[in-house]
Structure formats: C-alpha cells, structure tokens
Amino acid sequence: MNITNDIKYIGVDDKKIDLFEGQYKVPSGMSYNSYVIIDEKVAVMDTVDAAFGEEWLTKLKAALEERVPDYLVVHHMEPDHSANIENFVKAYPSAKIVASSKAFAMMKGFFGTDFADRQIVAKDNDVLDLGKHKLTFIAAPMIHWPEVMVSYDSYDKVLFSADGFGKFGASDSNEPWDNEARRYYIGIVGKYGAQVQNLLKKAAALNIEIICSLHGPVLRENIERYVSLYDTWSSYSPEESGVVIAYASIYGNTKAAAIKLSEKLRSLGEDNVVLYDLSRCDISEAVSDSFRYDRLVLASATYNADVFPPMKEFINHLTERGFKRRKVGLIENGSWAPMAAKVMREMLEVSRDLSFTETTVKITSALSNESLSQLDALACELSK
C-alpha cells in the first residue's frame, strides 16, 4: 500500500492474538505498522512483532524493488515494534540504525548488543536528510516508554507518531476509530497525559496532513479532530455528558440498585447511561467509558471490611491512569457493617478534582424504602 508516492506501508496484521500486552481483549486483532521511505536514501520506519519477521522482511524486499535500506529508524523499543531489529541487521548489513540514546541502551538489554558500529543517535530537533524527504525527530519521552521519539517528514507532511494515535484492531477492521483508539489510549498511554500535552504543543507548530501510527489505520482526513480528541483525553477532561454505573455485586442486590439507578436517570432525561458488571465485563471498556463521560457511580458490596475485589481492581485502574475532573456517586451494601463507601472514597483520595455527591446510598442486604429514596436523591443530584 502506498501512503504517498515515496512512502509505502509494510506492516502486518495479527488475527490470532486474543490479548494485547496480556490484558487487553482485541477481538478484531492487532496491526503492527511499519513503513519505508524511498528517496535518494532509503529509510525503514520501525520493525514488527517477532512472530511476523519473515512476512515483514518479504514485504520490505518487495517494496524496495532492488534498493537497499540506508537506515532503520527506531521510534519505540517495545517488542511489538522492535523485535526484528537484529533480523534486519543480518539482512542489510550496511544499514545504519537511527534511534535515541535510551533506545540503544534498551537494544543491549533485548539483543545483547547496542549495535555500536551502526549507531546514529537522534536527539530532539535533529534532522535525517533522505533527499526530498527530511525527517525531523521530536523527543516524546513516556509516550509511553522513556526512549520514544516521533518524526516529521516535511516533504509529504507526515507525522510518524510511534504509539500515539494508535488503536486496537487489525488494519482491515472496520469498527469506529474513536472507541478502540480511546480504549487503547486510556489503557496504555493514559497515565502520561502531561507528556502527551507537551508533545501536542510541539506538534501544533507542524503542518500535519497524514499521521502514521505504529498501530491502526493511517489517518489522512480530519487531522484536527484526532488531535482534538488526544487533547481532551490527555487533559483528563470529559469527552461527553453521561453517567457510568460500575457495580460489583455478590448476590444481586447491589446489581439491582445499579439497575434501578440507571432507570431513574433515564427517566430524568439522561441519554448516556452505561452499566458495567465489574465481575464480568471487559474492564478496559469500563475504564475507557469512565474517562469518556463526566459522571461515575461506584456500587459495591462490602467484603472482608473492604470492597468486593473486582471494584478494588477497577478503582486501581482508574487512579493509576490519572482519573480526575469527574463527579462521583457511591452506593454501598453490607448486611451488618457496610464499609464499601468509606473504602472507595479513600481509594479515590489520590485523584484530583473529583466532586462527590452529597447522597451516598446505603443498602443493608437488600433494597428498602429508605435506600430507594436515597437512590431517588442520588439520581436527582447526578442529573442536575
């Protein structure tokens, strides 16, 4: 596939993978993207996952049309992108490797060598001259590893964005970009919003017409929209008005309260009300939607004077990704000593700019007239 006259796509699709990074469900598979720029000099942009080395090298050879690469540019050292560096070096012994100094240090850990005789260490604002195409490197540490850099081709106005602007799914998957890109961003990059904001400020000075990420489709249209979404996600601002109700129920009574609250909210005109059973759902979906919408309700049974374990895991996922700027309501259940609300609130103390509803729903075993009245009050608070 040609990205432009001189830039070709040589990535691969993994249709067999079930869990990306051992935790994220990817029903549409995963793409590992790589590109090659054919100019006076030839630059290969990253490699692919170890399982696809032979396929990738075959695609590269076909794209080169008898040319030989001058450079391998390594934007990111995570193994799904760097695993074939050594295979590339064996196939093209004259090529140089362009990467950050931290990337070369990581190569030593992965391959037992930092390829000292091939190194070109790229620093922030360095330029690699290929002829018409001139690649300017931009340091992007902690997006989402410390060695990451992105590059900008001023000729075709292409940003090679490493894992930035990536999404779950193979290259031919047709689900909407937003949902799987959001789930990818929040799950994998979400902790590093400040670093993403810094990169977006640098990118604002560039005339970007195409974004080539290491995962997902090449982005060609409405670039401003993709950048705007990244600005929203990385500033931890709500994307839409809506309520996520995440519940952890043992015998069904806490679940019944969550469902009742969702019904009350919809009756008050709330269009976006999303329920998640934390014992059964894809937790990355629940986390993604909690960042998407502006209000969150946590409903948990008390368990060993604590919260039910699925709720504890969920809150940990939120807080380690910088959850903030939301309104939060709490529902607790306990047959003799309800403690869940207290514990959930304490767990969220590390999050900034949260506001809590005045009403906390307290259930002692099953819904009663009193707890139903509290649910009414909570719904009214949340829908204001």
**3-state SS of the chain: helix, strand, coil percent to 5?**
35, 25, 35
| pLDDT of 384 above 90 | no
> Residue 74 falls within a domain, yes or no?
yes
Q: Would you say 169 and 26 are in contact if contact means Cβ atoms under 8 Å apart?
A: yes
| pLDDT of 29 above 90 | yes
Q: Would you say 277 and 247 are in contact if contact means Cβ atoms under 8 Å apart?
A: yes
Classify 376 as helix, strand or coil: helix
The DSSP code for 235 is T
Report pLDDT digits (tens) over 154-195: 999 999 999 999 999 999 998 899 999 999 999 999 999 999
Report pLDDT digits (tens) over 239-269: 999 999 999 999 999 999 999 999 999 999 9
Is 150 in the same domain as 222?
yes
Q: What is the pLDDT of residue 316?
A: 98
Is 172 in the same domain as 135?
yes
Report pLDDT digits (tens) over 285-296: 999 999 999 999
Q: What is the pLDDT of residue 161?
A: 98
Classify 318 as helix, strand or coil: helix
Is 73 in the same domain as 210?
yes
Q: What is the pLDDT of residue 174?
A: 87
Report pLDDT digits (tens) over 192-245: 999 999 999 999 999 999 999 999 999 999 999 999 999 999 999 999 999 999
Nearest residue to 52 (alpha-carbon basis) of 104, 88, 77, 26: 88
In percent, the amount of the chain with pLDDT more than 70 equals 100
Nearest residue to 249 (alpha-carbon basis) of 106, 366, 378: 366
CATH code where residue 320 lies: 3.40.50.360
> Residue 171 falls within a domain, yes or no?
yes
| pLDDT of 129 above 90 | yes
> Residue 161 falls within a domain, yes or no?
yes
Residue at which a domain ends, from 234, 256, 286: 234
Q: Using pLDDT thresholds of 50, 70 and 90, give the confidence band for residue 1.
A: confident
Tell me the pairing of strands 327-333 and 293-303.
parallel
Query: Residue 230: in which H helix or E strand, if any?
Result: helix 223-234
Dihedral of alpha carbons 38, 40, 46, 50, sign: positive
| pLDDT of 284 above 90 | yes
Is 230 in the same domain as 257?
no
Report pLDDT digits (tens) over 65-82: 999 999 999 999 999 999
The mean per-residue pLDDT over the stretch 76-102 comes to 98
Q: What is the pLDDT of residue 350?
A: 95
The mean per-residue pLDDT over the stretch 307-313 comes to 98
Question: For the chain, what is the domain count?
Answer: 2
The mean per-residue pLDDT over the stretch 267-276 comes to 97
Is 85 in the same domain as 107?
yes
Report pLDDT digits (tens) over 5-22: 999 999 999 999 999 999
The DSSP code for 348 is G
Question: Could you write out the DSSP letters of every residue in 86-151?
Answer: HHHHHH-TT-EEEE-HHHHHHHHHHHS---GGGEEE--TT-EEE-SS-EEEEEE-TTSSSTT-EEE
Is 171 in the same domain as 192?
yes
Cα angle 106, 184, 109 (rounded to 5 degrees) comes to: 10
Report pLDDT digits (tens) over 323-381: 999 999 999 999 999 999 999 999 999 999 999 999 999 999 999 999 999 999 999 99
CATH code where residue 64 lies: 3.60.15.10
Q: What is the pLDDT of residue 54?
A: 98
**Residue 109, domain extent:** 7-234
Q: What is the pLDDT of residue 226?
A: 97
Residue at which a domain ends, from 194, 211, 234: 234
Dihedral of alpha carbons 80, 81, 84, 86, sign: negative
Classify 341 as helix, strand or coil: helix
Is 229 in the same domain as 247?
no
Nearest residue to 345 (alpha-carbon basis) of 298, 293, 304, 287: 298
